[in-house]
Amino acid sequence: MALRQIREVGDNLLRKKSRPVEVVDDKIRQLMDDMYETMKNADDGIGIAAPQVGVLKRVIVIDLGEEGDGHVYKLVNPVIIKQKGEQVCREGCLSVPGVTGDVIRPKEVVVEALDENGKPIKIKAKDLFAICLSHEIDHLDGVLFIDKATEIFEDDENTEEEKK
């Protein structure tokens, strides 16, 4: 595994749409491992998308830590196929340091994707997990949380829930 540089707001690559992954191979698995290591090394993030490390592929990694089920989700070509309800959450992002914002997200989502072995999976998520999936999938379409925020805060001391 290797640490990769996290792209920050202002980098045009963050605004581009990512390409679908054709084959989940060792190169993609290495990317996911590197993304996980990079995320864990950077302010205890709980999610990261490939564009944040300079790769325009539809790949995300999520680890909710103590807030989650203990599983690290490494997802390829994730798509939200269903959503329900709404919630407002104060979000932050590894690519937008020192800033948080209130964002309206679905309360529950259903996501279809491929796992790190290329097998199709369906994930039902709610609350923080639904927020994180929505946030990271937005990255794959060149959308940052600040584009959706109803209010923006300059904030140097983010809480665990705010770091995505």
Catalytic sites, residue numbers: 136
Tell me the two tokens of residue 47. 């999610």
DSSP per position, 124-138:
EEEHHHHHHHHHHHH
Measured over the CA atoms of residue 143, residue 146, residue 150 and residue 155, the dihedral's sign is positive
d(CA 131, CA 136): 9
